[in-house]
Amino acid sequence: MLLMKSKYLAADVPMFAGLPPAVQAFLDRALVWRRFRAGDEIIDRQSETRDVFFVAEGKVRVVIYSVSGREVTLDDIGPGGHFGELAALDGEPRSASVMAVEPALISSLGDEAFRKVATENPAMALSVMRRLATVVRTSSNRILDLSTLGANNRVHAEVLRLARVAVKRPDGSAAISPIPVHSDLASRVSTTRETAARVMGDLSRQDILKREKSALVVLDIAKLATLVEDVRGDF
């Protein structure tokens, strides 16, 4: 949570990297850098702030809580990503809360400065739009999953997603590391910890999955894929 001005610069933020020097200089004056510890809250839902945040190091999580206590994870954002644009763009209250899940170094920018920079620099405008576009795509897919898949198939789908981006081993299996905590998994596909655990157990018993010391190994990605596609059906 300590301030460390003028140690980090706008050029360190990927999204700003290609901007004209004059704009970067402007940003260097406007950006505020902060460190957060794991667990710290960065944005509180319903708060009236409008700043935009850029993740330089670490990882943050976007969540919505329902008062019934349920926690719905919307997204995880790592280095190079940004969040908080919605409120800055439309002036509405925050739509979700954001917390650091790892120690994080983050810079923030006031909404006016953000709108100015984002609309007056074509390259920047395009990356903001692209980012929003992928968020929309992700959300639509999730809505589709929630609408058409049962809870355990959603867990299948999520493990499959993790496997696809994980490091592949020579034998074709994928090592997911660190091992995702069941309750996080559950929150990401809107089900319960128990259901996630049961599904993972089933997958082990079918030799699709193996839990190792510090990695979750998907032994048979193809078979896992069929489990999902048999129900989803399409494409």
Partner DNA sequence: TATTCCGAGTGATGCCGGTCACTTTCGGCG
Partner DNA sequence: CGCCGAAAGTGACCGGCATCACTCGGAATA
Give the DSSP H or E segment for 217. Answer: strand 216-218
Q: Is-contact 89 46, C-beta < 8 A?
A: no
Give the DSSP H or E segment for 73. Answer: strand 71-77
Given DNA, a second copy, none, residue 122, with its beta carbon under 5 to 8 Å by kind, binds a second copy
* 192 in contact with DNA (CB under 7 A): yes
Question: Least distance (Å) from a second copy to the CB of residue 62?
Answer: 9
The stretch among 5-13, 57-65, 81-89, 179-187 that binds DNA (CB under 7 A) is 179-187
**Which x/- pattern over 101-140 shows residues binding DNA (rule: CB under 7 A)?**
----------------------------------------
The stretch among 37-45, 97-105, 186-194, 217-225 that binds DNA (CB under 7 A) is 186-194
Spatial distance between the Cα atoms of 62 and 83, rounded to a whole number of angstroms: 9
Question: Least distance (Å) from DNA to the CB of residue 74?
Answer: 18
Q: Is-contact 77 84, C-beta < 8 A?
A: no
Spatial distance between the Cα atoms of 1 and 36, rounded to a whole number of angstroms: 5
Given DNA, a second copy, none, residue 200, with its beta carbon under 5 to 8 Å by kind, binds DNA
Spatial distance between the Cα atoms of 23 and 56, rounded to a whole number of angstroms: 19
Question: Least distance (Å) from a second copy to the CB of residue 137?
Answer: 5
